[in-house]
Amino acid sequence: MRTDFTQALDYAGYLHLDTLLAAQHPLSDPQHPDELLFVIQHQTTELWLKLMVHELVGARGFLDTDDLARARKSLSRVKHILRTVTEQWSVLATLTPSEYAEFRDVLGPASGFQSVQYRAVEFLLGNKNPGMLKVFEANPPAHAFLSDALHGHTVYDAFLRLVARRGLPVPAAVLERDVSKPWVEQPELIPVFREIYEDTTGRWDLYETSEDLVDLEDAFQLWRFRHLRTVQRTIGYKHGTGGSSGVSFLKRALDLTFFPELIAVRTEIGVP
């Protein structure tokens, strides 16, 4: 076991632990013992979001080059990340309403609503909202980063283009759509997915990737739901710190869907 790292890279140096572990700065005075939990919960989520953005961009690139196997590996990793951050809410849920109320005011208007990486993940999955860029006008690098995500094609766009290259009749209007707009359900895609689902022998990899996307959406919705329940048990029906309506705002997010045709096609499968 090596013990001398005087002139060699060690674990702390590789991970920049001096910087990472010095990045927690609770603002309550005197410092509330539970504020560190709140800070670390959100910082670690941001790290996982960074990896999610990285993997989704990678999956999109692999789909663009017809490398379906590697795209599926990236999507699988995102599913596991979502399971991790979903379970992570259980740690924050140990923060009681009275404990949080003792330091909540130090957050001011800061809110997870302002997470540029969360918005990038949603944009990469198709839930695009140009109005969100206004939130980041005071932060030019964040604004540029999110603008690129807004104007780039989504993971779903990349998959549908691959499906079209495989010879299936994806409508031209879908392939040529304005990718800066939010995705809306395209009924013309349902027969395309029905063909995939009813020919699993001939189109197994497309079928499996379709199910990967459904898994991803399910995992994302479970994360949203656990977020809602954690907020509800901690602040009830108070407004969020960033000015949102809190629980009711989070409930509306549960109605959003990234890949509606992959759900709608299930009604058609097996029907004469």
Residue 50 lies in domain: 34-101+114-267
Residue 44 is assigned to a structural domain of this protein? yes
Residue 28 is assigned to a structural domain of this protein? no
Given a cut of 80, whether residue 240 has pLDDT beyond it is no
Residue 222 is assigned to a structural domain of this protein? yes
Q: Which CATH number characterizes residue 212's domain?
A: 1.20.58.480
Q: What is the pLDDT of residue 249?
A: 81
Q: Is 104 labeled as ligand-binding? A: yes
Using pLDDT thresholds of 50, 70 and 90, give the confidence band for residue 255: confident
At 40-72, the pLDDT tens digits run 999 999 999 999 999 999 999 999 999 999 999
Q: What is the pLDDT of residue 211?
A: 98
10 Å CB burial of residue 224 (0-12, 13-18, 19+) is middle
Q: Is 40 labeled as ligand-binding? A: yes
Using pLDDT thresholds of 50, 70 and 90, give the confidence band for residue 99: very high
Residues in the chain: 272
Mean pLDDT of 114-127: 96
Q: What is the pLDDT of residue 1?
A: 84
174 DSSP 8-state letter: H
Q: What is the pLDDT of residue 165?
A: 98
Using pLDDT thresholds of 50, 70 and 90, give the confidence band for residue 254: confident
Going from the C-alpha of 99 to that of each of 94, 95, 102, 227, the distances in angstroms are 10, 6, 5, 18
Q: How many domains does the chain have?
A: 1
At 150-206, the pLDDT tens digits run 999 999 999 999 999 999 999 999 999 999 999 999 999 999 999 999 999 999 999
Give the CA angle between residues 113, 221, 51 to the nearest 5°.
Answer: 65
Given a cut of 90, whether residue 242 has pLDDT beyond it is no
Q: Is 266 labeled as ligand-binding? A: no
Q: Is 166 labeled as ligand-binding? A: no
Using pLDDT thresholds of 50, 70 and 90, give the confidence band for residue 137: very high
Given a cut of 80, whether residue 272 has pLDDT beyond it is no
Going from the C-alpha of 76 to that of each of 207, 235, 255, 258, the distances in angstroms are 15, 34, 23, 17
Q: Is 238 helix (H, G, I), strand (E, B) or coil?
A: coil
Q: Is 263 labeled as ligand-binding? A: no
Q: How far apart are CA 272 and CA 270, in angstroms?
A: 6
Q: Is 39 labeled as ligand-binding? A: yes
Identify the weakest region by mean pLDDT among 64-73, 97-106, 159-168, 242-251: 242-251
Q: Is 100 labeled as ligand-binding? A: yes
Residue 9 is assigned to a structural domain of this protein? no
Query: How high does pLDDT run on average in the chain?
Result: 95
Residue 253 is assigned to a structural domain of this protein? yes
Q: Is 41 labeled as ligand-binding? A: yes
Distance of CA 133 to the CA centre of its chain: 17
Residue 27 is assigned to a structural domain of this protein? no
Supply 70's token pair: 């590697």
CA atoms within 13 A on the CB side of 257: 12
Residue 93 is assigned to a structural domain of this protein? yes
Residue 204 is assigned to a structural domain of this protein? yes
Q: How far apart are CA 244 and CA 132, in angstroms?
A: 13
